Amino acid sequence: MIFNDKTVIVTGGSEGVGAAAARLFADAGANLMLVARNRKNLEAIAAELRDRTRVEIFPMDVSDADSCVDLFKKTLFEFGRIDVLVNNAGYHARGYVESITADELARTIDVNLRAPIVLMRLALPHIRDAGGGAIINVASLAGRTPVPGSAAYSASKFGLRAFTFALAEEIRDADIKLAVVSPGPISTQFILADIDKTSDLTFSQPMSTAEEVAQAILDLCGNKQRELVMPAISGILTTVTYLMPWLGRTLRPMLERRGARVKKEIKAKARGMPPENGA
């Protein structure tokens, strides 16, 4: 897909899926506004990509509504148009609800749901002015079936999917594509840096790379899919366990055992150790 002279905003654009998406959009000719809290990381990815395209950065916390307004002002000042918004920034306070502070629960909702809603609302008139475009939201398999130990995260991603689909119906006559990519575990620091707190259930599903999810984001900008679930087999599993919760409870111990083995292998590999026999 060609994005020559089009402007793409990517939140969470300093590393992981966001950085991978930025690289693909740059290769496709897009101008980029990269958003994240860490200025140093933003400057590094921007420096990498500036020999391919125009790149600007906007260090901010997406949960700050005033900063969201300033982001669009800055983007229009630099590029004169906005064609695509990728809501990728995420936050996950892992653990059972009673073990997590109220502030952490609220931040999960603020970053994963409230901020994308605010950003989508702000983006719509500008994408219309550009003649159409796309809004792609990064959801999760946790937004397709409830995940114990990730209650607020599941709620935020369920909400993000529902808002996306409802908004798509509201503006279905506009030339603006709305879609979500719902990946399972991704081999980025989002979970690997917090591996001991990440549930065994998470690691029971095949892991995608940041590049695979980034490619899905680009593909959704131009195809007719409303949601891309990856991997597909995990999408089937989440649908079945959502419709039949009793089956999810029955399968959970087996899936958690599988995930625990995978987690042990990942940790052993990180330490440069061979996996245990039978692992």
Q: Which of 91, 96, 153, 242 is catalytic?
A: 153
5, 22, 29, 82 from 54: Cα distances, Å: 10, 11, 9, 14
Domain that holds residue 115: 7-270
Is 178 within the bounds of a domain? yes
Can you give the pLDDT at residue 197? Answer: 84
Distance (Å, whole) CA 139 – CA 153: 10
Can you give the pLDDT at residue 68? Answer: 97
Lowest-pLDDT choice from 8-17, 93-102, 118-127, 261-270: 261-270
- Note if 153 is an active site residue: yes
The residue ranking higher by pLDDT, 270 or 84, is 84
This prediction's pTM: 0.91
Average pLDDT for residues 152-164, to the nearest whole number?
Answer: 97
CATH of the domain at 106: 3.40.50.720
Chain segment 210-230, per-residue pLDDT in tens: 999 999 999 999 999 999 999
Is 40 within the bounds of a domain? yes
Average pLDDT for residues 256-268, to the nearest whole number?
Answer: 88
Backbone angles phi, psi at 76, to 5 degrees: -65, -40
Is 128 within the bounds of a domain? yes
Chain segment 95-154, per-residue pLDDT in tens: 999 999 999 999 999 999 999 999 999 999 999 999 999 999 999 999 999 888 999 999
Can you give the pLDDT at residue 194? Answer: 82
Contacts of residue 275, Cβ cutoff 8 Å, sequence gap at least 6: 264, 265, 268, 269
The DSSP code for 141 is G
Is 278 within the bounds of a domain? no
pLDDT at 274 over 90: no
Number of domain units in the chain: 1
